[in-house]
Structure 1
Amino acid sequence: MTRVTAKSDPSTATMAQPFELTQFNPAQDRSAIRNQIRALRHQLSPQQQTQAAKAAMAQMLTQLRALQPTKVGLYLTNDSELDTQPLFQALWRLNIDTYLPRLHPFNRGQLIFLHYRQGTRMFPNRYGIDEPKLDIRNLLPTEQLDLVITPLVAFDELGNRMGMGGGFYDRTLAHWQTAGKPLPIGYAHDCQAVPSLPCEHWDVPLAMIVTPSRVLRFGSETLAQG
């Protein structure tokens, strides 16, 4: 994919504070970047977290009205990530089916997605993150998802995403550009932005990033309708 400068959508901003890039040294290695951004995220107060979650949800719903998905992959919040519970509730009210990632039981490093609704039984995985009980009846092949809203540690202006280092989303979404779906959308706090990220050939660029204050698009034809 040819990387292009993001098209920001300032008209959708809902936060009073202007968007500012994190103070950042590009020479830092990946571990240092993760530590820096996670520390910034942990400094957010409960009130800031609540406000950010509501603002980001509003931004995301605006985009989803244009994209009109029926099956959405989403994640449960962990480690001071942007809270997804308000978004889950909104998607359910819109009768959009939601799916949670689960570590693949056989292919190490891959994710599968299982239908998630209120009352779904959850169990902690080896990282201590809750995931749905493995039930083939609730399994949906990843390529049948319309989009996957991904967690991340940091992102940059070209749509590059840095996760926790396990590569789970990069492997799972490696073919989205040729298949056209599922569309990967990053969901993050504004403080998780950096001017540029060190990238490897296996890193999967995002089609869109939604934060509490703005929406970044990255030139995919799939987004033309939005």
Structure 2
Amino acid sequence: MDVKQQHQTTALRSTLRQTFRERRKALSNSEQASAAQGLIEQVNKHALLKGASRVALYMTNDGELDTKPLIEHLWKSNIEVYLPVLHPFSDGHLLFLRYKKNTHMRANHFGILEPRLDCRDVCPLRQLDLLFTPLVAFDEQGNRLGMGGGFFDRTLANLVFDPSSTVRVVGLAHDIQKALSLPTQAWDIPLPYILTPSQLYRGKSALKSE
């Protein structure tokens, strides 16, 4: 891809990012509540929690699919929940910390709540069983468009290049965040699975392993 094509792809991704962000933020409270319940039903339908004891999620922001009911569901199922925290020493990377009902939370510089850093609560990435990732848009090939910061792209890259990793990765999104096709860049990591309140999509990487 030459420089002109790179600029065109970047511009298109920026436009798509804005479009899909506005689309999900336009959802009403009742639509969000219905979607959150549908998500739990899909998680149970596809047995995504089978054998899982440590699951990473994220705190909902910017109209994202509400994860709070799912977090409550995990707690009731005696499954440990972990949330991403901006790495204090490695810029652009994430740590995953245990999240409990009494966990002290603080807002990071993006305004997103995260557990206060305590090394005793850190779970190494490869010790997670299941990682649910946020996204702005997706397509049926498993391509994911994020917010542009690259935090989860770097996390996913660490898993892809670790041959011993057994972490299952699932993107979460509203149904309206599905695109016909997304422009990709060299560093993009396609998702094996994307879950919406109505369906589980299997990306190219999942199909190759099945």
TM-score of the alignment, normalized to the shorter chain, above 0.5 = yes
In structure 2, C-alpha distance between the alignment counterparts of 1:170 and 1:212, rounded to whole Å: 23
RMSD of aligned alpha carbons: 1.9
Cross-structure match for 1:159: 142
SS at match of 1:131: strand
Post-superposition shift, 1:172?
1.2
Q: What is the CA–CA distance in structure 1 between the aligned matches of 2:208 and 2:58, rounded to whole Å?
A: 22
* 1:212 matched to 2:183: no
Out of 70, 78, 90, the position equivalent to 2:61 is 78
Is the CA contact (8 Å cut-off) linking 2:94 and 2:155 kept in structure 1?
yes
Corresponding residue of 1:200:
185
Counterpart in the other structure of 2:172: 187
Q: 1:27 to 1:72 in 2, by over 3 A?
A: closer
Unaligned runs of 5+ in 1: 1-25
Unpaired segments of 5 or more residues in structure 2? Answer: 1-8
Deviation at residue 110 of structure 1 after TM alignment = 0.4
Question: Where does residue 23 of structure 1 map in the other structure?
Answer: none
SS of match in other structure, 2:46: helix
Q: Higher mean Cα deviation, 36-45 or 65-74?
A: 65-74
- Structure with larger RCO (C-alpha < 8 A, sep 6+): 1
**1:123 alignment partner, one of 82, 106, 113:** 106
Contact kept in structure 1, 2:140 and 2:202, CA below 8 Å:
no
Q: Percent identity?
A: 47
Aligned residue-pair number: 199
Q: Secondary structure at the match of 2:157?
A: coil
Asked if structure 2 preserves the Cα contact closer than 8 Å seen for 1:53 and 1:83, the reply is yes
Q: Tell me how far 1:223 sits from its aligned partner.
A: 7.3
Please give the alpha-carbon distance, in whole angstroms, between the structure 2 residues aligned to 1:65 and 1:202: 27
Matched residue, 2:6: none
Q: 1:66 to 1:95 in 2, by over 3 A?
A: closer
1:170 aligns with 2:156: no
Q: Deviations 1:185-221 (Å, cap 9, x if unpaired)? A: 0111000000111111211111111101111123537
Partner of 1:59: 42
Q: Residue 11 of structure 1 aligns with which residue?
A: none
Under a length normalisation based on structure 2, what TM-score does the superposition of the two structures give? 0.89
Greater CA drift, 93-102 or 53-62: 53-62
Q: Distance in 1 between matches of 2:27 and 2:105?
A: 27
| 2: CA distance, partners of 1:187 / 1:118 | 22
